[in-house]
C-alpha cells in the first residue's frame, strides 16, 4: 500500500545526509567531551564546531546556544529562569501556544503566584498586537512569550514587530520558534528577541535534541545540576551524534531553503486548489499569510463521517493530523481552533496537512480522491 506522510508539523523524516553524519559521529566522536585526553578533545571539538555552525545561522555568538533535549525542555527552562533569575513577575502569552509553553506557564502561575495575561487571538488565528500593547501599559517586570509559527494553523507572528513592541516597553521577549527554525531565516542580530527554542526533529534532524538561544548577559539558573556541561546550565554528557546531526540538518536546510520553500509552497497551493474543487464549501482555518508548509482546513462533512475520518485516512496509508473535536475518538477540541472558531464550526472536522520537500503532487491528488470517497 502507498504510504503518504502529511504530518511534517509533528515531526519530519531525517535526511539521508544527516543519518550519515550521525553514524560517522558515532564512529569517530565517541569520546566524552569532558575528558581531557585526545578522544575527549576530539568530541569536544566536534561539539563546539556544531555550536558555531548553528549560531552562525542566526548571526549570534556560539555562547548564546545551549543544547537541550528539545524545545519542550528549552521552553520550560527559559520560562522558569525568567521568574527565578530575571525578576519577572508577569508572563504575557496566548491561549494558542503549544502545551510546552501553556502548561509550563500554568505551573509557574501555581507555584510562584505570578500574574499571567493572555493576549487576544483574532478569528483568523493571528495575535492581536494592539491588545498586547494595551496589556503592556501595566508596568510590571514582564516576559512576553509568543510563538513564531503556530503548529496547528501555520499562522505567523510578525517577530520583528512584536520584538519592537517589547523593546519599547522594556520587557523580555521569548518565542517558541519550533515550526520556523530550519524553514526560514531568523536574524537575531536584527530582531531583539531575548530567547528562542528549537527542536531538530522538526527540520529533518534527529529526535531528542534541540537548543535554547539565550541572549548574552542574561543570567539563567541551572536547568539540570551535575557536571559542568553547557557552562553548568544543563549538566549531563552531551549527545554529540545528535548535536552534529542537528547542525548538519540545519546547514542543509539553509542551503536548500529557497528551492525547497518554492516547491513546498506549490504543493500547498495545489492541495488547496484540489480540495476546493472537491469540497467547494471547505474553509481554511487561518489567513492568507499562513506558513508555507502548514494547511488547516475545515471540511463540510457530516458528523457521522467526522468521528472516523483520521482512522479512514490512516487505513488508506495517509497520515494527517487532527484539527478539531471528535476525531479518532478524542472528545477534546483543539485548544487552538477553540480560540478561533464558533461552536458549530468546531463540530466539523478540521484537518492539519503539513508538507515537506519529500512529498509529491501525486500524493496530494491521491489524498483528495480518498477524502472524497469517505
Ligand atoms: N513547540 C511547538 C510549536 C511544537 O510544534 C512542538 C512539537 O510538537 C514543541 C514545542 C515541542 O517540541 P519537542 O517535542 O521537541 O520538545
What does each of the 374 residues of the chain score in pLDDT, given as a tens digit? 889 999 999 999 999 999 999 999 999 999 999 999 999 999 999 999 999 999 999 999 999 999 999 999 999 999 999 999 999 999 999 999 999 999 999 999 999 999 999 999 999 999 999 999 999 999 999 999 999 999 999 999 999 999 999 999 999 999 999 999 999 999 999 999 999 999 999 999 999 999 999 999 999 999 999 999 999 999 999 999 999 999 999 999 999 999 999 999 999 999 999 999 999 999 999 998 999 999 999 999 887 777 789 999 999 999 999 875 444 556 678 999 999 999 999 888 999 999 999 999 999 999 999 999 98
3-state DSSP assignment of residue 198: strand
70 lines ligand 1 (CB under 6 A): yes
Detail the DSSP E strand segments found in 95-225: 115-119, 142-145, 172-176, 195-199, 210-214
Q: Grid coordinates in use for 351?
A: 484537518
pLDDT at position 356: 98
The answer to whether 134 and 167 have CB atoms below 8 angstroms apart is no
Nearest to 211 by CA among 58, 33, 369: 58
Q: Grid coordinates in use for 91?
A: 508572563
pTM of the model as a whole: 0.96
Please name every residue paired with 156 in a beta bridge, in sequence order, or none if there are none. Answer: 149
Residue the block writes with cell 496530494 = 364
100 lines ligand 1 (CB under 6 A): yes
Contacting residues for 162 by C-beta, under 8 A, at least 6 apart: 127, 129, 132, 144, 146, 173, 175
DSSP 278-295: H-TT-EESS-TT--TTEE
CA 98 / ligand 1 centre spacing (Å): 7
Q: Grid coordinates in use for 56?
A: 552562525
Whole-angstrom CA distances from 309 to 148, 304, 324, 371 are 29, 9, 11, 8
**Ligand 1 pocket test target in 10, 75, 93, 98 with most atoms within 8 Å of CB:** 98
Q: Is 231 left (phi over 0), alpha (psi -120 to 50) or beta?
A: left
Nearest to 2 by CA among 340, 357, 313: 313
C-alpha 105/C-alpha 114 separation (Å) is: 9
pLDDT at position 326: 47
Return the ∠ at Cα 78 (arms to 74 and 79), rounded to 5°.
120
Amino acid at each position: 500500500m502507498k504510504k503518504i506522510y502529511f504530518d511534517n508539523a509533528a515531526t519530519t523524516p531525517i535526511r539521508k545526509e544527516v543519518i550519515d553524519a550521525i553514524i560517522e559521529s558515532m564512529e569517530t566522536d565517541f569520546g566524552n567531551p569532558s575528558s581531557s585526553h585526545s578522544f575527549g578533545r576530539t568530541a569536544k571539538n566536534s561539539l563546539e564546531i556544531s555550536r558555531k555552525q548553528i549560531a552562525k545561522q542566526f548571526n549570534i555568538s556560539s555562547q548564546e546556544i545551549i543544547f537541550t533535549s528539545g524545545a519542550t525542555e528549552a521552553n520550560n527552562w527559559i520560562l522558569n529562569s525568567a521568574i527565578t533569575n530575571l525578576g519577572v513577575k508577569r508572563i504575557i502569552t496566548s491561549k494558542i501556544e503549544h502545551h510546552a509553553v501553556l502548561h509550563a506557564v500554568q505551573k509557574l502561575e501555581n507555584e510562584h503566584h505570578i500574574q499571567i495575561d493572555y493576549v487576544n487571538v483574532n478569528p483568523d488565528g493571528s495575535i492581536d498586537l494592539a491588545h498586547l500593547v494595551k496589556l503592556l501599559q501595566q508596568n510590571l517586570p514582564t516576559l512576553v512569550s509568543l510563538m513564531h509559527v503556530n503548529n496547528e494553523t501555520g499562522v505567523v507572528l510578525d517577530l520583528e514587530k512584536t520584538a519592537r513592541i517589547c523593546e519599547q516597553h522594556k520587557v523580555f521577549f521569548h518565542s517558541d520558534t519550533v515550526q520556523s527554525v530550519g524553514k526560514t531565516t531568523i536574524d537575531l542580530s536584527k530582531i531583539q528577541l531575548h530567547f528562542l527554542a528549537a527542536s531538530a526533529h522538526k527540520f529533518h534532524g534527529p529526535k531528542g535534541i534541540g537548543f535554547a538561544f539565550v541572549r548574552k548577559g542574561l543570567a539563567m539558573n541551572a536547568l539540570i545540576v551535575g557536571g559542568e556541561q553547557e557552562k553548568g546550565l544543563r549538566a549531563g554528557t552531551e549527545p554529540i551524534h545528535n548535536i552534529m546531526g542537528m547542525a548538519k540538518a540545519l546547514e542543509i536546510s539553509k542551503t536548500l531553503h529557497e528551492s525547497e520553500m518554492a516547491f513546498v509552497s506549490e504543493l500547498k497551493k495545489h492541495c488547496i486548489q484540489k480540495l476546493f474543487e472537491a469540497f467547494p464549501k471547505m474553509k481554511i482555518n487561518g489567513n492568507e499569510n499562513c506558513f508555507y508548509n502548514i494547511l488547516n482546513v475545515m471540511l463540510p462533512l457530516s458528523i457521522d463521517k467526522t468521528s472516523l475520518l483520521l482512522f479512514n485516512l490512516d487505513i488508506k496509508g495517509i497520515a494527517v493530523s487532527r484539527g478539531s473535536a471528535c476525531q479518532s475518538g478524542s472528545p477534546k477540541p483543539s485548544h487552538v481552533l477553540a480560540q478561533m472558531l464558533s461552536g458549530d464550526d468546531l463540530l466539523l472536522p478540521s484537518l492539519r496537512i503539513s508538507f515537506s520537500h519529500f512529498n509529491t503532487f501525486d500524493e496530494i491528488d491521491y489524498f483528495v480522491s480518498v477524502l472524497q470517497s469517505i
